[in-house]
């Protein structure tokens, strides 16, 4: 049986097939911005959370990104990526 996954971030032509051979890609959790933030705001547990699907940063980076500063103005629902934030190691 094939599992089809559709995300509002993908066009209909990019409908993904997540069968057993794909190791659950898309079903796993990742880090997302959960409220509108502005450039200069600090990454916190209130504005970044672990949710499905897996299009944002892996959960292993949570400690690295908490306390970082946003360098863009991501909207609620944006998958978190390193190009949205400035970490301590970037300095």
Burial class (CB in 10 A: 0-12, 13-18, 19+), 24: exposed
Q: What is the pLDDT of residue 87?
A: 83
What does the domain layout of the chain look like in residue ranges? 28-90
Q: What is the pLDDT of residue 20?
A: 47
The tens place of each residue's pLDDT in the chain, 91 residues long, gives: 444 444 555 444 444 444 444 555 557 889 999 999 999 999 999 999 999 888 999 999 999 999 999 999 999 999 999 999 998 776 5
Q: What is the pLDDT of residue 77?
A: 94
Q: What is the pLDDT of residue 71?
A: 97
CATH-assigned architecture of domain 28-90: Alpha-Beta Complex (3.90)
pTM: 0.69
């Amino acid at each position: 049986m094939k599992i089809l996954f559709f995300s509002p971030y993908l066009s209909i032509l990019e409908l993904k097939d997540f069968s057993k051979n794909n190791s659950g890609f898309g079903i796993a959790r990742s880090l997302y911005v959960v409220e509108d933030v502005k450039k200069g705001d600090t990454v916190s547990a209130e504005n970044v959370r672990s949710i499905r699907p897996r299009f944002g940063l892996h959960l292993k980076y949570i400690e690295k990104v908490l306390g970082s500063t946003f360098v863009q103005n991501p909207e609620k629902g944006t998958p978190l990526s390193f190009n949205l934030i400035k970490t301590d190691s970037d300095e």
